[in-house]
């Protein structure tokens, strides 16, 4: 067995789509698992779309995910002459032939066939030209395309995911290899470049499956070894349709901007169409590399579930050092506070926020919305919670708390807790009977981190003011 060489061959489109990133990741994991090589090929023959920026976006997305490549990337557009040579060699060895048919004739024949409700395939008119005819046309300077002479028989391959796929060759048209303008088609470029890059395994999206028999015939006609194929299932949106812009963010860099961590994205993408065979979900890079293999790729489409991605992100956030969490929260919070003309917290307070929310954030983007309670007194109180938590005796309880808190000399977590516990005891109440109305008064809602930690961060003045505001409101 030759050493594994896999590739990622994106066509620059202006973004690195999660589907592309997942393809890159699977190839990369396979290379690292087998101690093989992972190479890049930029399929940039469409010059309009392949701007330097569009190429850079691919590099940036891969680098963000820590997917590194082992050799200098190959730019497909720079291999034009090799692609032409590949077609010339096929002409030379009789696997291809010149087609002088006028494009208009072909279009008309195709339309006529469609009208009759039939599929069109090229009737091989030019396959039957003899040497002298061909020479005469060449001498007369007639333009021609080059077509692949599809041999008889059946083309089979054993896909690592889909199993055995057989295609009768009669279903494959003598497709064009070289256009009349002298440019080779994509199918030629991809086979020539995969052979040139020594690719042994082609792991790519299922949408390429129908290209594979044609490519295999090209490998065979060119005397090249056929790689192993693995066509991975498409990524679907929640409606089970192919994931697209309609479903929201699809580019990995958008997720980065939204505060998703690279580690979480990578871990999540790895589980889209692959599983380690046990119930592990949060897996380190080393674990992923050790477990990844082609035999655990799934056949069925993988639904991209943002909630799951955010859950995964939360798992990773909770393992980060506090200062890193704060570094990630800060830009989002700064933006939100600046928009509202609220002064920014100092770094020490920031670290306290990070500590308090370390296990409560699913993405950094949601941090401002969660943290806003520390910067603004509640302007309204969540209605459902009001109905549920503010009862007849709540004003009395809040007033008692207010009094006790005013007298409290040391404003720290344990003192606050003791205070509340002893008041609850005195009133003969469960402590939650005091905590819920208090939380509502302080935060305007039903959910927050531990109330004593919140109170420490809010500070004494703020807590007393908010209780006062709430009492006014309850009236
Ligand atoms: N350039 C193709 C794409 O971006 C990939 C071709 C392949 O993987 O064979 O879809």
| Bridge partners (DSSP) listed for residue 159 | 163
Reduced to 3 states (helix: H, G, I; strand: E, B; else coil), residue 97 is strand
CA–CA gap between residue 436 and residue 389 (Å, rounded): 6
Q: Residue 143: what pLDDT?
A: 97
10 within ligand 1 shell (Cβ under 6 A): yes
190 within ligand 1 shell (Cβ under 6 A): yes
Q: Residue 234: what pLDDT?
A: 93
- Ligand 1: centre distance to CA 26 (Å): 14
Substitution site in 39, 62, 208 for ligand 1 pocket (most atoms within 8 Å of beta carbon) = 208
Q: Residue 130: what pLDDT?
A: 95
Q: What share of the chain is helix, strand, coil (3-state, %, to 5)?
A: 55, 10, 35
The H or E element containing residue 176 is strand 176-178
204 within ligand 1 shell (Cβ under 6 A): yes
- Ligand 1: centre distance to CA 16 (Å): 13
CA–CA gap between residue 37 and residue 7 (Å, rounded): 8
11 within ligand 1 shell (Cβ under 6 A): yes
Q: Residue 286: what pLDDT?
A: 97
* CATH class of the domain whose range is 383-473: mainly alpha
Q: Residue 210: what pLDDT?
A: 96
Q: Where does 1-72+233-317 sit in CATH, by number?
A: 3.40.50.620
CA–CA gap between residue 96 and residue 220 (Å, rounded): 13
In tens digits, the chain (475 residues) has pLDDT values of 779 999 999 999 999 999 999 999 999 999 999 999 999 999 999 888 899 999 999 999 999 999 999 999 999 999 999 999 999 999 999 999 999 999 999 999 999 999 999 989 999 999 999 999 999 999 999 999 999 999 999 999 999 999 999 999 999 999 999 999 999 999 999 999 999 999 999 999 999 999 999 999 999 999 999 999 999 999 999 899 988 878 877 899 999 998 899 999 999 999 999 999 999 999 999 999 999 999 999 998 899 999 999 999 999 999 999 999 999 999 999 999 999 999 999 999 999 999 999 999 999 999 999 999 999 999 999 999 999 999 889 999 999 999 999 999 999 999 999 999 999 999 999 999 999 999 999 999 999 999 999 999 999 999 999 999 999 988 6
Of 245, 299, 335, 384, which is the active-site residue? 245
Both tokens assigned to 254: 């958008």
17 within ligand 1 shell (Cβ under 6 A): no
189 within ligand 1 shell (Cβ under 6 A): no
Q: Kindly give the number of the ligand 1 atom that is closest to the alpha carbon of 20.
A: 4
Q: Residue 295: what pLDDT?
A: 95
Closest residue (by CA) to atom 7 of ligand 1? 9
Q: Residue 31: what pLDDT?
A: 98
* CATH class of the domain whose range is 80-186: alpha beta
Substitution site in 5, 7, 8, 11 for ligand 1 pocket (most atoms within 8 Å of beta carbon) = 11
Substitution site in 57, 190, 196, 235 for ligand 1 pocket (most atoms within 8 Å of beta carbon) = 190
Q: Kindly give the number of the ligand 1 atom that is closest to the alpha carbon of 204.
A: 8
Q: How many CA atoms within 13 Å lie on the side-chain side of 383? A: 0
Concerning whether 245 is annotated as a catalytic residue, the answer is yes
Q: Could you report the per-residue pLDDT of 401-440, keeping only the tens digit for each?
A: 999 999 999 999 999 999 999 999 999 999 999 999 999 9
44 within ligand 1 shell (Cβ under 6 A): no
Longest dimension (CA), the chain: 112
Q: Residue 222: what pLDDT?
A: 98
Q: Residue 245: what pLDDT?
A: 79
- Ligand 1: centre distance to CA 3 (Å): 22
Around Cβ 339, how many Cβ atoms within 10 Å?
9
Which position has the token pair 């205070």? 419
Nearest to 198 by CA among 7, 467, 410: 7
Nearest to 316 by CA among 261, 390, 266: 261
- Ligand 1: centre distance to CA 164 (Å): 22
234 within ligand 1 shell (Cβ under 6 A): no
Nearest to 372 by CA among 348, 331, 336: 336
Both tokens assigned to 199: 């690719």
CA–CA gap between residue 154 and residue 21 (Å, rounded): 34
Q: Tell if the pTM clears 0.85, that is, is over it.
A: yes
In the chain, domain spans: 1-72+233-317, 80-186, 322-374, 383-473
Nearest to 299 by CA among 156, 398, 160, 435: 160
Q: Residue 2: what pLDDT?
A: 79
CA–CA gap between residue 312 and residue 279 (Å, rounded): 14
- Ligand 1: centre distance to CA 215 (Å): 13
Which position has the token pair 């008889």? 152
9 within ligand 1 shell (Cβ under 6 A): yes
CA–CA gap between residue 404 and residue 386 (Å, rounded): 23
* CATH class of the domain whose range is 322-374: mainly alpha
- Ligand 1: centre distance to CA 247 (Å): 22
Any idea what DSSP says for residue 380?
S
211 within ligand 1 shell (Cβ under 6 A): no
């Amino acid at each position: 067995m030759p050493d594994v060489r896999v590739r990622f061959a994106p066509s620059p489109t202006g973004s690195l789509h999660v589907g592309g990133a997942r393809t890159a990741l699977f190839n990369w994991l396979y290379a690292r698992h087998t101690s093989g090589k992972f190479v890049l090929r930029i399929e940039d023959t469409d010059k309009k779309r392949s701007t330097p920026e569009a190429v850079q976006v691919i590099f940036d997305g891969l680098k963000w995910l820590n997917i590194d490549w082992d050799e200098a990337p190959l730019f497909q557009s720079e291999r034009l002459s090799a692609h032409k040579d590949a077609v010339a060699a096929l002409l030379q060895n009789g696997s291809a032939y010149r087609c002088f048919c006028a494009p208009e004739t072909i279009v008309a024949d195709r339309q006529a066939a469609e009208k009759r409700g039939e599929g069109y395939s090229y009737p091989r008119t030019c396959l039957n030209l003899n040497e002298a005819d061909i020479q005469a046309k060449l001498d007369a300077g007639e333009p021609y395309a080059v077509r692949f002479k599809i041999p008889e028989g059946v083309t089979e391959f054993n896909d690592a995911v889909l199993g055995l796929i057989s295609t009768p060759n009669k279903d494959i048209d003598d497709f064009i290899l070289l256009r009349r303008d002298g440019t080779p088609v994509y199918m030629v470029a991809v086979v020539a470049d995969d052979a040139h890059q020594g690719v042994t395994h082609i792991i790519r999206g299922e949408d390429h499956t129908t290209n594979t028999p044609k490519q295999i015939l090209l490998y065979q006609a060119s005397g090249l070894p056929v790689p192993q194929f693995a066509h991975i299932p498409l990524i679907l949106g929640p409606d089970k349709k192919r994931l697209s812009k309609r479903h929201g963010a699809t580019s990995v860099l958008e997720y980065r901007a939204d505060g998703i961590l690279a580690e979480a994205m990578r871990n999540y993408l790895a589980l889209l169409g692959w599983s380690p065979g046990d119930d592990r979900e949060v897996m380190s890079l080393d674990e992923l590399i050790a477990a990844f293999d082609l035999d655990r790729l799934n056949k069925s489409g993988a639904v991209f579930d943002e909630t799951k991605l955010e859950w995964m992100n939360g798992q990773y956030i909770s393992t980060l050092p506090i200062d890193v969490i704060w570094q990630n929260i800060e830009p989002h919070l700064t933006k939100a506070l600046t928009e509202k003309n609220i002064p920014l917290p100092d770094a020490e307070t920031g670290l306290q926020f990070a500590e308090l929310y370390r296990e409560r954030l699913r993405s950094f983007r949601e941090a401002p919305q969660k943290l806003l309670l520390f910067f603004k007194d509640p302007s309204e109180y969540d209605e459902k919670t009001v109905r549920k938590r503010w009862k007849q005796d709540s004003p009395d309880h809040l007033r008692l708390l207010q009094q006790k808190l005013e007298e409290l000399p040391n404003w720290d977590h344990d003192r606050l807790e003791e205070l509340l516990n002893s008041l609850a005891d005195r009133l003969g109440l469960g402590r939650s009977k005091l905590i819920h109305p208090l939380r509502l008064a302080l935060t305007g809602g039903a959910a927050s981190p531990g109330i004593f930690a919140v109170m420490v961060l809010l500070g004494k003045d703020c807590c007393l003011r908010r209780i006062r505001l709430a009492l006014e409101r309850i009236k």
